[in-house]
A and B are shown apart, each in its own frame.
Chain A
Amino acid sequence: GAVVSQHPSWVICKSGTSVKIECRSLDFQATTMFWYRQFPKQSLMLMATSNEGSKATYEQGVEKDKFLINHASLTLSTLTVTSAHPEDSSFYICSASTGIRGYNEQFFGPGTRLTVL
């Protein structure tokens, strides 16, 4: 149980275009989903936290107009990278949990590699 999927696993796009990444909890209801960014050989940096049905909360320094996050249902959150540029190339990982307060284990998706040409 507790499986999280991401789609696509790898995407290549041209500079200036937008890319949408989906994160799904397959066998549980995720009231909270998290989006992370990871550069090669570096740590995971939290970008934003989304709760189902409400606006995402972005971490300091993350452009909310560039990284649009939608959490429309208890099993799906999407991250849209708008007007992508080569510096947006990175590995994006989502995680899902059943709550935000207290201890709620985060279950991680397999990640999406974004390459912007």
Chain B
Amino acid sequence: AQTVTQSQPEMSVQEAETVTLSCTYDTSESNYYLFWYKQPPSRQMILVIRQEAYKQQNATENRFSVNFQKAAKSFSLKISDSQLGDTAMYFCAFMSNTGKLIFGQGTTLQVKP
């Protein structure tokens, strides 16, 4: 069975600085997808970034980028130029070809002014 682990329950960062959220996963599958979702206080789940396992190039979306290390089964999220609106709970998630999402425990990020 696949598992997703986020070892940082809470993190904080100063506005405009960079922060990295960690995620590791375990699977025996070779093809899968990894995601980072943001859940702000409104609790609406928002897709931040997506990585396809067969692609070696790390995904980027504006201020958000990932460091995908397939052999190490690591998938960290880097947020550059942090903004107050980035304050939220962030979930790392795994999807195999079953289409089901398996979420990590989440990391609460506080961006301080």
Contact = CB atoms under 8 A, between A and B. Distances in A.
Interface of A: 32, 34, 38, 41-46, 49, 91, 93, 95, 97, 99-106, 108, 110-111
Contacts of B19: none
A99 B99 contact: yes
A110 B43 contact: yes
Given A43-B91, A44-B91, A111-B43, A102 B97 contact: yes
Contact of A43 (B42, B44, B105): B105
A57 B108 CA distance: 31
Given A41-B108, A44-B91, A101 B43 contact: no
A91 B89 CA distance: 15
Scoring A93, A100, A103, A111 by chain B CB atoms within 10 A of each residue's CB, the highest score goes to A103
Nearest to B95: A103
Interface in B19-74: 33, 42-45, 47, 50, 52
Contacts of A45: 103
